[in-house]
Amino acid sequence: MKKMLWFALALLVFAGGCHKDRVALDKNDTYRLLVKKNGKFGYCARNGELVIPAQFEHASIFSEGLAAVRVGGKDGFIDTAGKVVIKPRFDGTSVFREGKAAVMFGDRWGYIDRTGNLLTEPRYIATFAFTEGLASVIVAQPKGEPKAGYLDGQGKLVIAPQFDDASLFSEGLAAVKIGKKKGYIDSTGKMVIPPAFDEARPFRDGLAQVQINGKYGLRGFVDHTGAMVIPATYGDATNFNEGVAAVMSKNLWQLIDPAGKPILNRTFPSPTVFSEGLAPVMVDKKVGYMDKKGEMVIKPAYDAGSIFVNGLAPVRKGEKCGFIDKQGKMVIDADYEWDQRSIDMYLSYNTTLNGATKK
């Protein structure tokens, strides 16, 4: 059973970066970007100033104003000023969602609130983040395999552990596994879409990606009733984001709208995701950014790139990471290490967890 966990810590001091001609630091702007330098993690403000020095062995992105960092082999949380607000005492952590974070003691998980107080005892084998007031947990059973159920915001098991796996709630539904098949339940635990799929992803833009015909079967999209509104004819697919999904057929990718119609008369060698109206695409081995009309708004000049969040996107030049704005200006110089784990965390949080909102 998988879980997206985000984590890890050391003492904090303020220090400046080395960006030339930097604009003044906006004291009211608390947006912080996770960066890596000389093998350690720290945080930049959007003007490029390294406001929390790169000195942590591990660190998470900020969520709800807090980030997990590792100090002396234990995890705790800092605020956007770099102050330790929850002392390091955990063996693992997740990001904060809805005012709660999962934390690990030994090999078991529980939840804390923003003050660091335990909301539940650390008794769970695995946990997911809270979305729509509920979080799935994996519970050991006296006999047989562990089962998944759901906690409410007070830490009470409101949907009994009865599933072989369970995912996050989005748009009022959550994918659960019974035996070898997956379906969807509502917030009361009622099965509203029967378990008939080999894979089932969260709902986005009114649709959820599902897979049929086995592990290497075909993918399509269902609506909230379980009707297959985009037929399962694709070898692979992404979830919808900003009304666009990427689907693969014959090893080429196409972008479709929620009606299943292509938004562009072209294909791509790899999938992409739209965020803030732009999507990274590779042209002649360089990454640029296009809009939904297919126009290259930012010319291909980078070796890699991820999505825009709050007007900034991480890009790679050689082995170094910097950040560009939506005009393509490098506003944070490529002075940092490109850390794929951090990029994956950034992408997953902003397209899956942070996008899990009820319709």
Q: Are the beta carbons of 5 and 93 closer than 8 angstroms? A: yes
Residue 58 has which token pair?
A: 């591990």
Determine which of 28-32, 102-106, 136-140 has the lowest per-residue pLDDT on average: 28-32
Instruction: Identify how many contiguous H helices and E strands the chain contains and give both numbers.
Output: 1, 31
Q: In what order do the strands lie in the sheet with 173-178?
A: 165-170, 173-178, 181-185, 191-197
Domain ranges of the chain: 1-129, 278-359
Among the listed residues 195, 173, 171, the one whose alpha carbon sits nearest the alpha carbon of residue 183:
195
Residue 27 binned pLDDT confidence (cut-offs 50, 70, 90): confident
Residue 352 binned pLDDT confidence (cut-offs 50, 70, 90): confident
Residue 296 has which token pair?
A: 């290259």
Among the listed residues 283, 310, 317, the one whose alpha carbon sits nearest the alpha carbon of residue 297:
283
Is the pLDDT confidence value at 20 over 50? Answer: no
pLDDT for position 355 = 61
Strand (E) positions, 114-179?
Answer: 126-127, 135-139, 147-151, 157-163, 165-170, 173-178
Mean pLDDT, residues 312-329: 97
Max intra-chain CA distance, the chain:
64
237 vs 1, more confident: 237
Phi, psi dihedrals of residue 221, rounded to the nearest 5°? -135, 135
Is the pLDDT confidence value at 12 over 70? Answer: no
51-95: per-residue pLDDT in tens?
999 999 999 999 999 999 999 999 999 999 999 999 999 999 999
Is the pLDDT confidence value at 11 over 70? Answer: no
Query: How far is it, in rounded angstroms, from Cα 136 to Cα 159?
Result: 9
pLDDT for position 21 = 57
Phi, psi dihedrals of residue 353, rounded to the nearest 5°? -65, -55
17 HSE (CA, 13 A, CB side): 30
Residue with token string 């007031």: 133
Query: How far is it, in rounded angstroms, from Cα 261 to Cα 231?
Result: 12
Query: How far is it, in rounded angstroms, from Cα 251 to Cα 267?
Result: 10
pLDDT for position 9 = 23
SS3 of 167-217: the string is: EEEECCEEEEEECCEEEEECCCCCEEEEEEECEEEEEECCEEEEEECCCCC
pLDDT for position 37 = 95
Cα-atom radius of gyration of the chain, to the nearest Å? Answer: 21
Residue with token string 């709902």: 203
- What pTM, to 2 d.p., does this model score? 0.89
Mean pLDDT, residues 268-277: 96
**Cα dihedral value 238, 241, 244, 249, nearest 10:** 0
1 vs 340, more confident: 340
Q: If 0-12 CB within 10 Å is exposed, 13-18 middle and 19+ buried, where does residue 143 land?
A: exposed
Residue 25 binned pLDDT confidence (cut-offs 50, 70, 90): confident
Enter the DSSP assignment of 155.
S
Is the pLDDT confidence value at 135 over 90? Answer: yes
Mean pLDDT, residues 215-226: 94
Is the pLDDT confidence value at 357 over 60? Answer: no
Mean pLDDT, residues 174-192: 98
